[in-house]
Amino acid sequence: MDISPLQKARYEYSPKLPGMLRNGIADICVKEGAATQSVADQEKIKALFPNTYGKPEITFEKGANTSEAKKQVVGVILSGGQAPGGHNVISGLYDALKATNSENVLLGFKGGPDGLLKNDYVEFDDKFIDAYRNTGGFDIIGSGRTKLETVEQFQTVAANAKENGLTAIVIIGGDDSNTNAATLAEYMAAAGTGIQVIGCPKTIDGDLKNEDIEASFGFDTATKTYSELIGNIERDANSAKKYWHFVKVMGRSASHVALECALETQPNICLIGEEVATKKMSLAQITNYIADSVEKRAANGNNFGVAIIPEGIVEFVPEFSALIAEINELLAGAKTEEFNALPSWQAKYDFIKAGLTPSAFAVFDLLPVGIQQQLFLERDPHGNVQVSLIESEKLFSELVKNELAKRKAAGTYKGKFSPLHHFFGYEGRCAFPSNFDADYCYSLGYNAFMLISYGYTGYLSKVSNISKPAEEWIAGGMPITKMMNIERRNGADKPVIRKALVELDGKPFKFFEANRETWAVETCFTYPGAIQYYGPSSVCDITTKTLALEKG
């Protein structure tokens, strides 16, 4: 098989481990901290996880290794959406297993949790692993989004694990996947199977983090990939000087990706969903905010600009959320079939007008027809609007265009407005991991084996102090239950890992807030360029602006 020169070179890259792990694990001991509790709903979480709740955080240190020497057969899955670095988590886990005992075995279960349920796996060897080192994607074993939440599923996983002689399972995923890990760990402990479960924190959205998990893997690479593209667009905009580019980026539940890309590229506009929700901003207010920038720049002769829109922005707009809730009720049950059977959009429009409250319909009527129709596309499995299908970048450019037409008619705006649209999502999920993500992910996998060797279960592999050089990184683990709270999901209370939203009093947002008025009017674009893998550490190993500001 032909491979590119960069691919060949990345195979040969040696990821950097935390200093304490670089000489193997023979002289690594455990330091246990205080007992932990969940971030909220402590009594409820404790009742649901009696065998794995309240465990201490742990840190690995230099000292005599007291772990039990035994053959380990570990299963690993990739769960949820792709994120750069997943292959290196598996590589680090494999290398740690084999360095400890050449007879240790790593089984990769295919297609995410389904692989555990169907007992569909491959046994890794050196040749297999070497073909995926430092590469992007999850194609080594594939991924999936099946939830592990029923007793029947747990029993099936336990039976398959016993059949294969598994001593531990490592689940590499985001908040939902690690919630799966926590519930599976609790079942395994309660049933006395002896099978440990360890999680690894993944998501390009950046919303799986807290005081312990400083960053989820993949966020660094994905945001650098998007920022390169946005920087290229900015340079094109500043060259042609005639287009406004509306760029939607991934991040449905939180705006970390949008904020990081804004910090990297200094666009004219960046919407932050958490701010929109806190200030209860309406569609009209957001529209005017963008239109003001367009008007002021036009007055300076600059009929061009760049606006970054987070994927889930509309869900943060209170009036839009209320509209979606009413639409979900309107089309509940058999009414969906009745609606779909109507012969024309006008007939459907009349049906919607009759079924919505006047306030909700007023919001609906503001929307361009194309966006109105997107609200009634295919429903999700629960019968709800699929918000991710809404082209919010086109929504806001159309609303701004209409607002500018009013201003032009009133004589206050004399510029030109020609919008172009982009959506950057999949482009960043499988990129070659940056040196940071390659190192971080390899360390997470290596560290996961350390947790296994010391008998921990229901823990998340944790590598901290990651804004510093890898030599100074600190390896350890934290109970997954520490991150959990109770949320209402599909009509029932569920224990889930709390998503981390953009903190409006945090240093990254405050830096953005302090500069955005200037960026909105002046052309302050910055051009990050492509991810660099070779050269000075100050260029190749640099982390995100978000992490640098948070730990600054």
Q: Report the C-alpha gap between 201 and 280 in whole angstroms.
A: 31
Place of tokens 């979606």: 324
What span, in angstroms and rounded, lies between the C-alpha atoms of 436 and 45? 34
Structure tokens at 342: 């109507």
Structure tokens at 212: 């312990």
Torsion angles phi and psi, residue 149, rounded to 5 = -145, -10
Q: Which residues contact 126 (CB under 8 A, 6 or more apart)?
A: none
CA angle 258, 259, 261 (to 5 degrees): 65
- DSSP annotation string for 287-343: HHHHHHHHHHHHHTT---EEEEEETTHHHHSHHHHHHHHHHHHHT-TTHHHHHHT-S
Beta strands in 46-192 (DSSP E): 56-62, 73-78, 105-109, 121-123, 168-173
Task: Work out whether the CA dihedral 248, 251, 256, 261 comes out positive or negative.
Answer: negative
Asked whether the beta carbons of 71 and 530 are under 8 A apart, the reply is no
Active-site pick, 114, 176, 205, 220:
205
Going by C-alpha positions, the residue among 404, 468, 181, 416 that lies closest to residue 298 is: 416
Alpha-carbon torsion (516, 520, 522, 528), positive or negative: positive
Helix, strand, coil abundance in the chain, percent, nearest 5: 45, 15, 40
Rounded CA gap, 357 and 550, in Å? 44
Based on the residue annotation, tell me whether 437 is a catalytic residue of this protein.
Answer: no
What does residue 303 show for φ and ψ, rounded to 5 degrees? Answer: -90, 45
The answer to whether the CB of 442 falls within 8 A of the CB of 10 is no
Angle in degrees, CA 212, 19, 92, rounded to 5? 75
Alpha helices in 380-502 (DSSP H): 392-410, 435-453
Instruction: Report the C-alpha gap between 350 and 268 in whole angstroms.
Output: 39
Name residue, tokens 């039976």.
159
Residue partners of 357: CB distance under 8 A and separation at least 6: 326
Distances (CA, A) of 167 to 34, 80, 179: 27, 23, 20
Active site residues: 205
